[in-house]
Structure 1
Amino acid sequence: MGIETLTIRRPDDWHLHLRDGDMLRAVLASSASQYGRAMVMPNLKPPVTTAGAALAYRERIREALPIDSGFTPMMTCYLCDATDPAEIRAGFNCGAFAAAKLYPAGATTHSEYGVTSVERIGGVLATMQEIGMPLLIHGESTDPVVDVFDREAAFLRSTLALILTRYPRLKVVLEHITTEEAADLVLRDESGRLAATITPQHLMFNRNAMFAGGIRPHYYCLPVLKRERHRRALRRAATSGSPAFFLGTDSAPHETGAKESACGCAGIFSAPVALQAYLTVFEEEQALSRFEAFASENGARFYGVPFNQGTLTFQRTPTRVTGDVELADGRRIRTFLGGETLPWTLA
């Protein structure tokens, strides 16, 4: 008979979009009730580019939390061509920034203010290397001649290779990796300064999910879902026991009308069920004993923070996923796997 309950140390989400305003207040509880910490993404409008903006955003998140919440938001700096290295240093030293995020300009949601060339942020990267500040990367080429399904691999060969060579002590996290090439690159690294997060959707689905019986906008995210061989490679990496891979949901809420439109937004809101989705994958790969490290330990070690106190317990009870979260004005956000049944529930 298989395991009926599983208890793990309280996990962290190392890649999370909380948005702002009414949407922040609608989605925050889904993450705060489960995770001890989250690395909060800075691609608001306008983006979080200064220490002052990061502190103000952190305060808005804290104000939306229950009084007794133990959830800690960790803030990131949105890198632009004009980012001042002195701002990076000051923000990291005062605790406003835990890391900085590199969005290639135009690569994803609200990335239009991002970096157009690594050459333009050389001083920033040198400063980050010096002070030990991690660089988080949305690793996709924005060259229009590169096929959308090849953009991650192209980025690895060009931009990432340049960064790793020029800044040999810079800590780098490849966010939401989607390809066999990325997984193999991280697995081969022996420096300990390269890591990757993996989302539940990229572990559970390949690109066919976006076209099953028609266009399925709620499976559209960036980077997009890839071929089956890539999904299998990600599953092997996540469940391998390698400390270089850890949980990062990339949960990214959009109201339903913005997803189901002529030009739908990229992003999947997975926060309410991501842990059960990950757990399902680990069980299918016969790797339940490695789930706690992936969810609760590897990321903390990489970022140099203590493990969380407390635990979460999952029960083998089939649970139908609730389909929507409602905003204050009545608009709705579709939850990942809404209407589907998962074999585990959070006790």
Structure 2
Amino acid sequence: MSDEIILPAPADFHVHVRQGKMCELVTAQVAKGGVRTAYVMPNLVPPLTSTQAVLAYKAELERIDPSVEWLMTLYLHPDVTPDEIRRAAKAGIRGVKSYPRGVTTNSNSGIEDYGVYYPVFKAMEEEGMVLNLHGEVPSDAEKNISILNAEVHFLAHLEKLAKDFPKLSIVLEHATTSSAISTVTSLPSNVACSITAHHLHLTIDEVAPQPHHYCKPLAKEPKDRKALQEAVSSGNPKFFLGSDSAPHPLSSKSPGIMAEDGHVSACAAGVYTSPILIPLVATLLESFGALDKLESFVSGNGRRFYGIPPKDGQQLRLRRTKGDDGLVKGTFKGDGVEVMPFWAGKKLGWEIVE
């Protein structure tokens, strides 16, 4: 096996770069992790529900780092009408992200009934926009639905949407279960699926004792991780990288801290991988014998599905680490914010050649 890999313009089709001081810190880390094209999530406060708001956010990201191709999305919400979809499409906005209400970070404005949005989905189908689905349903004790099986319960919604909108490009985001992999595989070619780096490594056993491994959707059982790994290893073009890199301040990842008002904090959901993303993916794929699928997973499949060809001069060169090289730093610090990346203190098998 070669000690060097050249990749044509890696792309991350699911990334969070937040806002304010956190945005200033983490936006610049996207390119440092090897990504040339980034598909940005809209769950800000307030959520990005208008073309004008999305374009203003994009301008802010381009100010911080103009080297990255920032692809933007709208947040599915009652304010997003068919007319807004047409405005967004003309402005170059690529997709619409659907969050079920209350299932993850900043999803309190999320949806409860997909049927209400069928006119929006029809407009998206006509305009060639992508529907990105956070594939969980809210917890419900009476129905025995929890964060452990919320994704499996969502798959019926995915199947119905795929049937009702056969020309709509649909992405099931950050799959975590073998059921999700088999469902996506069984559906027509307009349905694809993003997979994160951390879900290729974690199971519930690694999440339970480590708040920095806690994310939504939750990592599941070893059989589920194996299904994700096999999906990547297969080279199936339906599956591609969407990191769901989701930074939170250290204080938000430390549950149980009591504030002055007596409120006890919960642990924020999110794993932060942007600063090390492509070397991390290479390291993980090599660990389960799929390094030969690295290019298709990070550079080929997603770009083909979204219709985003690589640009000239955006190749990324990786080489094997030697000695103490590849050690992931403990935290990244900015103006008043500090975040801990995934794999902190561990050694990567690959590094970017500057």
Which bracket does the TM-score occupy, shorter chain normalised? over 0.9
1:82-231 aligned at under 5 Å gives the runs 82-95=79-92, 97-145=93-141, 146-157=145-156, 159-189=157-187, 191-211=188-208, 215-231=209-225
2:254 corresponds to which letter in structure 1?
A: E
Any gaps of 5 or more consecutive residues in structure 2? 257-265
Query: Equivalent residue of 1:273, what SS?
Result: helix
- Measured after TM superposition, the shift of residue 82 of structure 1 is 4.3
Contact 1:239–1:291 (8 Å) recurs in 2: no
Q: Alignment partner for residue 272 of structure 1, among 252, 275, 299?
A: 275
Give the match for residue 39 of structure 2: 39
Contact 1:11–1:308 (8 Å) recurs in 2: no
1:320 corresponds to which letter in structure 2?
A: L
| C-alpha separation in 1, matches of 2:28 and 2:346 | 21
Query: Equivalent residue of 1:328, what SS?
Result: coil
| C-alpha separation in 1, matches of 2:340 and 2:123 | 40
Any gaps of 5 or more consecutive residues in structure 1? none
Give the match for residue 263 of structure 2: none
- Measured after TM superposition, the shift of residue 187 of structure 1 is 2.0
- Measured after TM superposition, the shift of residue 272 of structure 1 is 1.1
| C-alpha separation in 1, matches of 2:78 and 2:110 | 7
Q: Structure 1 stretches (4+) deviating beyond 6 angstroms?
A: none
1:102 corresponds to which letter in structure 2?
A: S
Does 1:297 find its partner at 2:300?
yes
Contact 1:36–1:308 (8 Å) recurs in 2: no
Worse-matched range after superposition: 34-43 or 225-234: 34-43
| C-alpha separation in 1, matches of 2:254 and 2:311 | 38
- Normalising by structure 1, report the TM-score: 0.94
- Measured after TM superposition, the shift of residue 261 of structure 1 is 2.2
| C-alpha separation in 2, matches of 1:334 and 1:303 | 31
Deviations 1:169-198 (A, max 9, x none): 111001101010111122223x32111110
| C-alpha separation in 1, matches of 2:86 and 2:40 | 19
1:209 corresponds to which letter in structure 2?
A: E
RMSD: 1.3
Query: Equivalent residue of 1:148, what SS?
Result: coil
2:106 corresponds to which letter in structure 1?
A: H
Q: Alignment partner for residue 245 of structure 1, among 220, 239, 248?
A: 239
Contact 1:81–1:116 (8 Å) recurs in 2: no
Worse-matched range after superposition: 218-227 or 72-81: 72-81
Deviations 1:52-85 (A, max 9, x none): 00010001111112xxx43111110000134211
| C-alpha separation in 2, matches of 1:94 and 1:308 | 20
Query: Equivalent residue of 2:272, what SS?
Result: coil
Q: State the aligned residue count.
A: 336
Give the match for residue 322 of structure 1: 329
Q: Alignment partner for residue 312 of structure 1, among 309, 316, 325?
A: 316
**Identity among equivalent pairs (%):** 35
Deviations 1:9-35 (A, max 9, x none): 120110000001111110112112422
Give the match for residue 342 of structure 1: 348
Worse-matched range after superposition: 44-53 or 23-32: 23-32
| C-alpha separation in 2, matches of 1:108 and 1:147 | 13
Contact 2:49–2:76 (8 Å) recurs in 1: yes
* 1:161/1:187 CA distance change after superposition, 3 Å: closer
Q: Alignment partner for residue 251 of structure 2, among 257, 260, 264?
A: 257
- Normalising by structure 2, report the TM-score: 0.92
Worse-matched range after superposition: 55-64 or 139-148: 139-148
| C-alpha separation in 2, matches of 1:122 and 1:10 | 35
1:282 corresponds to which letter in structure 2?
A: L
Deviations 1:253-284 (A, max 9, x none): 00000110230100011001121221122212
Deviations 1:65-111 (A, max 9, x none): 2xxx431111100001342111011111221x210000011111000
Worse-matched range after superposition: 252-261 or 282-291: 282-291
| C-alpha separation in 2, matches of 1:344 and 1:116 | 43
